[in-house]
Structure 1
Amino acid sequence: MNPLELIELTPGEFCLSLDAGTTSVDDVVEELGHVPNGYFWEGVAQWLIKTEAPALEGRFSFDPEGGMFCAYGADRSELESLALRMAVVANDPAHVRQLIASAEADGFEFDD
């Protein structure tokens, strides 16, 4: 799940987070005209849910900031599923290029 972190805040309340601006794909994200901040990574999460895991739709609350992506939920396994998908993007320049191109071709706008 690197660079994402999943913690239990209270019993049954989990937080998935990513320190924005610390991934190995930040340069690629910027090259493609985006800012690798928490809002961009929320867009990545939303796109992955839409295209790869529609069963996760509506299962999380998002609370990004400029310096951090956060998703909250009650089901650890669902957040782990999202984390694994996001980790692929956050660690693979080719994958982040493909994701951005696909999302933009579909009219998706990243809120970064």
Structure 2
Amino acid sequence: MRLLETASGKFSLLLDAGTTQVDELIEESGHEPNGYFWEGVARFLVSTEAPSLEARFQYDSEGGMFCAYGTDQEELRHLGELMSAVATDGDRVRALVAAAEAAGFEFDD
């Protein structure tokens, strides 16, 4: 995860898809570890663990990269911390995918 200031007062949170410690586990769960999958992770985390972040930034992911952007650096940093916990912990990613699927959430990967 990288948090960059792209212009004065504008920030982007980025993750290069296919570079995490849990990519193989994501594939085993029937998903592709691409930018769209990670956007789904972000959206699910916001809705379940950090609803105060809802609608506080935009997403602009693509196949090879997850991207969230906005003007509040701390909100994006918070999202980055939540996502880093998933991107580095196999048990956490398995639990998140299971919870999302049980809730009827669909990853757009």
TM superposition score normalised by structure 2: 0.99
Displacement of 1:11 in angstroms is 1.1
C-alpha distance in 2 between matches for 1:60 and 1:20:
20
Aligned with 1:15 (options 12, 15, 40): 12
Q: Distance in 2 between matches of 1:93 and 1:60?
A: 27
Q: Give the secondary-structure state (helix, strand or coil) at the position aligned to 2:19.
A: coil
Give the root-mean-square deviation of aligned CA atoms: 0.3
Percent of paired sites with the same residue: 61
Aligned to 2:53: 56
Runs of 4+ in 1 over 4 A off after TM superposition: none
Equivalent residue for 2:89?
92
2:37 paired residue number? 40
* Structure 1 residue 60 displacement after superposition: 1.0
Q: Which amino acid aligns with 2:47?
A: K
CA distance in 2, matches of 1:108, 1:47: 8
Match of 2:75 among 73, 78, 91: 78
Give the Å deviation of 1:36. 0.3
2:103 alignment counterpart: 106
What CA distance in whole angstroms lies between the structure 2 residues aligned with 1:66 and 1:87? 19
Count of residues in correspondence between the two structures: 109
1-side partners of 2:52 and 2:21: how far apart?
Answer: 29
1:19 corresponds to which letter in structure 2?
D
Q: Which runs of 5+ in 1 are unaligned?
A: none
Structure 2 stretches of 5 or more lacking a match?
none
1:56-97 Cα deviation digits (max 9, x unpaired): 000111011100000001000000000000000000000000
Shift in Å, 1:9: 0.6
User: Using the alignment, how far apart are the partners of 2:82 and 2:34 within structure 1?
Assistant: 18
